[in-house]
Structure 1
Amino acid sequence: MIELNNIFSRLCKCKFCGKNMKYKNERNIGKYICSTYDNYGKNYCKRTHVSEDFLKSLIFRRFQRELSDQEIREIVDYVEVEDSLLLEIHFKNGDEPILLKGKFIQF
């Protein structure tokens, strides 16, 4: 099975401006950052970001197994990111979302 690059492309949304987040590789860490902030600066949005590996780890914990990149794309509807510790992962099948609020995680 072929693994996809940028698994969460067009799935991660900035909670502040509602725009898609774009993938960037910073110091060998794949991250999604607010495209509005990255393109126009802090006068237009906040530097909202989250690492791809962290999102994958939350999904793996939810399903209690590793999923392929393709499986993740098939089940995730969208990810709303306010901060790296404030986010929601919504699923296409209507299951309860994963909610991360600081140290509180609801799977």
Structure 2
Amino acid sequence: MYNAMRNTAHLGAPLFSVLYGQMLTLKLVFVTLAVLLGGHNRMIYLPRLESAVTGDIAAFRRAQRGFNRLLAVEALAMVAVLMLAAVLGHTSPLSS
């Protein structure tokens, strides 16, 4: 973010009004989403999954489904981050 602000400081328009700034903001949103989903999975679903191992099979399967669903959404968020990083690598901060 610092580099983006520094590289676009001379522009007449604010950073978020150019394509580069919008793409960077979108990438940061997806990074934040992935971190939050990973934390939620680690703090909520993983302990549920570990405690369900010794419990009944139905509780284990429910915990496993929840864990897998959230993991899939987190993986999609990270794919979006990688795609946006590739686009940002070929987008000039100077473009309008």
Q: Which has the higher strand share?
A: 1
Higher relative contact order (CA 8 A, sep 6+): 2
Structure with more helix by fraction: 2
TM-score by length of 2: 0.26
Bigger Cα Rg: 2
